[in-house]
Structure 1
Amino acid sequence: MRIAMFTEVFLPKIDGVVTRVVRTLEQLGELGHEVLLFAPGEPPAEYAGHEVVTVRGVSLRLLYPELKVGMPTPAIARKIEAFHPHVVHTVNPVWLAAYGVLSAGRRDLPQLASFHTDVPTYTESLRVGWARHPLESWIRSIHNRAEVNLCTSGPMVERARDVGIQRVGLWPKAVDTEGYHPSRVDPTMRDRLTDGHPEAPLVVYVGRMSREKDLEQLVEPMRRLRERVPGARLAMVGAGPFLDGLKRLFDPAYTVFTGYLSGTDLAAAYASADVFAFPSTTETLGLVALESMASSVPVVGARAGGIPFVIDDERNGYLVEPGDVDGWVDRFERLLTRPEHRRTMGEAARRESERHSWRAATETLVEFYDQAIDAHWSRHRPLTGPLLDRFARPMPRALD
């Protein structure tokens, strides 16, 4: 199968969406499928044997400096026509991927869109709340042009439906249980994360340092925690537009900011911690929680968004109501002061992660591709209308 894929974010940026895209590319290649990927910024020319088409990007310097928005060009359309895909997959269509939706529509191609980031909800934390309703309307319109829409967690399936997105299915969660493993624990990394105090109880967060992650909600719990668990420390792994603000909020004597980590260093950071903290209330899934669980490190997360889809409360981690400072302190204390309880919960977290492979998730995705293709051609009608007649370049069904 030939798949044209558009994504709003890709390497060298690192986040949950990028991780899912790269793992999916790897698995699609191993399954014998060919992908033509369109990505903004400065991506590699190929990944896992698939061609990556660089789309000129413009930085959202004032709003989100690390994000580059792809600028559509006529060359994209020519690439699609030459590739002649069986299906077009748009990842988080808002700008570049939304152009992919429109371009695929003009060429009468089957479409699947995936909903990974609840962008309208993020507008509040990014202080542009006025954009929420226009964004919801735009995203609903774009997604509903696809034959199939996918979300990565049950709660986000419901959220998509609430927004008005139709034909929604579940793209199963997945995690790399070989790369993220309890054996990756590393005394040198532990020393780094605790600023030279490896014996101290250690809470870690991995991810973007941005306002929508609600990381300031950890400031007071960590302060109170040290009153009950002396010396408890926090390691913040990642970078982003709110990094400097967070450095001002957290006590520098007990907090380490490592910047971005990847590969074996990132795996070691997970495995070398005692507890993973995840206060975000806007996650569609929370891949970093799964990666921590694969490392046998229990997660304390907010009971919001897609996180309850990952954590089974009191079995392989804890869920806390957003804003419940006492709840955060209590769950951290339980895990940090009771090693046997922490070990048991970490083992349960590891067992849960082992149920979710990237191969199984990608095989399910391919089934959804087939569903989109069948749905498109089974009810196919020629493109009509004055605008379509003027701009459309319908392509025949790809059979080979």
Structure 2
Amino acid sequence: MDVTGLRIALFSGNYNYVRDGANQALNRLVGYLLRQGAAVRVYSPTTGTPAFEPTGDLFSAPSIPIPGRAEYRVPYRLSGKMRRDLKRFSPNLVHVSSPDPLGHRAVTWARAHGLPAVASVHTRFETYPRYYGLAFLEPLIESGLRRFYRRCDAIVAPSESMAQLLREQRMSYDVGIWTRGIDRDIFNPGRRDPAWREALGIAPDEPAIGFVGRLVMEKGLDVFSDAIDQLEARQVRHKVLVVGDGPARDWFQNRLPNAVFTGFQGGPDLGRAVASMDMLFNPSVTETFGNVTLEAMACGLPAIAARATGSESLVTDGVTGRLIRPGAIGAFADALQTYCHDTAARQSAGAAARARAERNGWDQVNQALVDTYVRVIRQRAQGTVPRASPVP
């Protein structure tokens, strides 16, 4: 079998109603599959005001808003209409991208019909409770994730560091890599716009420390703002440039009253915003990859990031940026201060970062997942289904 024989039923908790790195990767995947001649059907919650048009055929899944985070929805069941649509579509593989109730039901459906299931891992859900004072729930959530992933034939992670963590957590025997690509037409140093910077109040010689992403607490906004406080106490000249929006925007603006907030930026505007920074500061530990880190590196920026899954596979400490122990405010501030004061070090790390980012092209990384699809279908056909987990 090759890609033209694939019929993929893709289940997502958020395919296009709120924009994030995970669903943009899924949409790119579907676009690649369709261009290569595969058939794809997507099942996900929908809203009347999606963030962007979906790629491919999208079937709406029953869902409810998450309490306190109503912009996100939980698909809670595999409805009769969805089951009938699945029967008509007749997939030969199920891909689940979120361990939500619909994802569980989709894996159950696949197993009942003798079909392989592949799960892609997009975020470290088990780390989220610590940002809301509920860290005691992390072992319970990890146990639930283990039960979900062990029922799949294979799981794929976006970075080798995340794949190794999944192995250590005993999630599956079969852990592969589906990394992330970069659109080099959008993200490159040529997008830097001095006039745009100056219009925002950033002087030509003023180092711009960038943050890019949804403004939610689990992105490490508290660590970011505490480190910036230290820079200001040390009287290090800089300007913070925040690109993105989200429910914690008011909190973040109150903590960083001197920062520039651009709101959401997309496409070429996002490329301009990132390239117009001088460094990226990403203290988050929840990412499994870190799309924004790769995009910044492609623009020739050094990245100051937490030593955590995702970032460890992208940033080489002391070469393309700095990797700092999670939550180490003083060490983050030290790294930022170095790049603010030492232009040569900043430029050298940025050049190395751009060279590293050249490895990631979307077609290559999506073809790697296609190869996984074909392999697990072949294993099913041969009766060589992998064991559910690496331990009893």
- The TM-score with structure 1 as length reference comes to 0.87
Distance (Å, rounded) in 2 between the aligned partners of 1:258 and 1:97: 35
Whether 2:309 is the aligned partner of 1:305: answer yes
Determine the structure 1 residue equivalent to 2:11. Answer: 6
Determine the structure 2 residue equivalent to 1:280. Answer: 284
Cα distance, 1:343–1:22 mapped onto 2, change above 3 Å: same
Q: CA deviation at 1:229?
A: 5.5
Could you tell which deviates more after superposition, 138-147 or 364-373?
138-147
Determine the structure 1 residue equivalent to 2:321. Answer: 317
Q: CA deviation at 1:46?
A: 6.7
Cα distance, 1:29–1:188 mapped onto 2, change above 3 Å: farther
Determine the structure 2 residue equivalent to 1:179. Answer: 186
Whether 2:27 is the aligned partner of 1:22: answer yes
* Matched ranges for 1:1-400 at <5 A: 1-42=6-47, 43=50, 47-48=54-55, 50-62=56-68, 64-72=69-77, 73-166=79-172, 167-191=174-198, 194-195=200-201, 197=203, 199-228=205-234, 230-250=236-256, 252=257, 254-379=258-383
Letter aligned with residue 284 of structure 1: T
Q: CA deviation at 1:88?
A: 0.8
CA contact (8 A) 2:92 2:115 kept: yes
CA offsets 1:20-45 (integer angstroms, 9 cap, x no match): 11221222222222211112132589
Letter aligned with residue 120 of structure 1: E
CA offsets 1:253-283 (integer angstroms, 9 cap, x no match): x212222211111111100001100001222
SS of aligned partner of 1:257? strand
Q: CA deviation at 1:198?
A: 5.2
RMSD, matched Cα? 2.2
Q: CA deviation at 1:313?
A: 1.0
Letter aligned with residue 121 of structure 2: F
Structure 1 runs not aligned, ≥5 long: 382-400
Letter aligned with residue 187 of structure 1: P
Q: CA deviation at 1:232?
A: 1.1
Cα distance, 1:83–1:266 mapped onto 2, change above 3 Å: same
Letter aligned with residue 178 of structure 2: W
Distance (Å, rounded) in 2 between the aligned partners of 1:323 and 1:31: 44
Structure 2 runs not aligned, ≥5 long: 1-5, 386-392
Letter aligned with residue 193 of structure 2: D
CA offsets 1:283-337 (integer angstroms, 9 cap, x no match): 2111110011111111110112221111011111111122323322222122222
SS of aligned partner of 2:96? strand
The percentage of counterpart residues that share the same residue type is 29
Distance (Å, rounded) in 2 between the aligned partners of 1:368 and 1:127: 38
SS of aligned partner of 1:175? coil
Q: CA deviation at 1:244?
A: 2.1
Cα distance, 1:133–1:326 mapped onto 2, change above 3 Å: closer
Q: CA deviation at 1:155?
A: 2.0
Runs of 4+ in 1 over 6 A off after TM superposition: none
Cα distance, 1:46–1:238 mapped onto 2, change above 3 Å: closer
Q: CA deviation at 1:199?
A: 4.5
Q: Number of residue pairs matched? A: 376
